[in-house]
Amino acid sequence: MRREMLLLENQLPFIVLEGLFEIASPLNDSLTEPPIPFNDFVTPYLTLSFEVQPLSSVKGKHALDSLRNVYLLPSEQYETSSLAPLIFIPCAAHLFESGVVFKKSSSKDRFKITFRDGVIEIPTIEAK
Distance in angstroms (rounded) separating the CA atoms of residues 16 and 28: 21
- pLDDT at residue 97, rounded to an integer: 93
pLDDT value of residue 101: 94
47 and 92 inside one domain: no
Q: To 5 degrees, how large is the angle CA 110–CA 92–CA 87?
A: 65
43 lies in which domain range? 2-78
Domain shared by 64 and 92, yes or no: no
Helix (H) or strand (E) holding 105: strand 101-105
- What pLDDT is stored for residue 34 in this prediction? 52
Total number of residues shown for the chain: 128
Give the number of other Cβ atoms within 10 Å of residue 63's Cβ: 22
* Domain-located, residue 119: yes
CB contact at 8 A, 96 and 103: no
- The per-residue pLDDT for 120 is 93
Q: Could you give the CA distance from residue 128 to residue 125 in angstroms, rounded to a whole number?
A: 10
Would you give per-residue pLDDT tens digits along the chain (128 residues)?
556 666 666 677 777 777 777 777 666 555 555 555 555 655 555 555 545 555 556 667 666 677 667 666 555 555 555 555 656 678 888 999 999 999 999 888 877 889 999 999 988 877 66
pLDDT of residue 107: 86
| Residue 8 DSSP class | G
Assess whether 70 and 103 both reside in one domain: no
d(CA 69, CA 58): 7
In which order are the strands placed within the sheet that holds 101-105?
101-105, 119-123, 114-116
Task: Please count the structural domains in the chain.
Answer: 2
Q: Is residue 128 part of a domain?
A: no
Mention every residue, 6+ apart, whose C-beta is less than 8 A from residue 27: 35
- pLDDT at position 110 is 75
- Report the predicted TM-score, pTM, of the whole model to 2 decimal places: 0.35
